[in-house]
Structure 1
């Protein structure tokens, strides 16, 4: 049986708490977007679309593309996602790079990573709080000032009128009433807005 250990169980540094808060942000954002979307009569989750900018660059400017590829190839350990840590007389450990995305190309482990995962006796992850609603709410209530303004500050109070109008327009385009995020810290809102609406909804 594999043991699962959350790093947050072993350390209480502020940087780790921020990582935990970011995980909670994505979970809460998912719920919030669905509620806002329902409230504003959005009929379905938007389809994720995109363009392969590297392929376009390869056609438009082969020399620039070749330069970027050469720089990437010269980056030390630039292709590593799964790292093996070895020490004489000890079982090897593995470190796997992950992203907070729902794309199956990210959430489906490649065969080499799955093999390391299956052979592992212990799994250490950032936090297990997001898997338990009660734990998540407890963590949020302990230090709400990491994510929200707890004084009279609002997002709009930090912006010029033009900036506030642009922010509100962007929120409206996402189906998020500006009043619902007025007390949210800028880092939290920017992390939420950095993802496309389809990703947040998924």
Structure 2
């Protein structure tokens, strides 16, 4: 099995696992939260409003190291809002977030541990695939041989090695999404957050 096929099968398995994990969460006691030191992500009574609209209402859950966890729901259910609060883009109205024991996701040492693929593509279309990954790698202080190795590895993983010198604006939607994924893992994060990462990506 090729690396590319294996990678996308892993992504498909992620969504299968989501169903099980959400069903499992459904039967947890709603308002009880016990933080464990080994939690990578711990959410406690999180709330966020946009005017009169409650986007996230008293959400609590824990994700252990090595666990795959999914948020399932219709449009407007608050999935993206929750992710944006976890990574520090949005500030919750109330509640608490812990990432690997730390309570401030905007700290540099915490940001270094997070890989995030937002729903909207976060790549530079006037840069090549390779230049995009070099840019994002340098944001995390990667340089020299390490940066070169990570760029090569990530391009190979998402099947873009043969297009590394092409501008991102020439890519199809699915290829841009794959480059977006590569940018999220360039720095080998401990925590990966995917917001609809496979939209427009072919199963092969």
TM-score (norm 2): 0.29
Larger RCO: Structure 1 or Structure 2 (Cα < 8 Å, ≥ 6 residues apart)? 1
- TM-score, reference length from structure 1: 0.29
Greater strand share, structure number: 2
Please say which structure displays the higher CA radius of gyration: 1
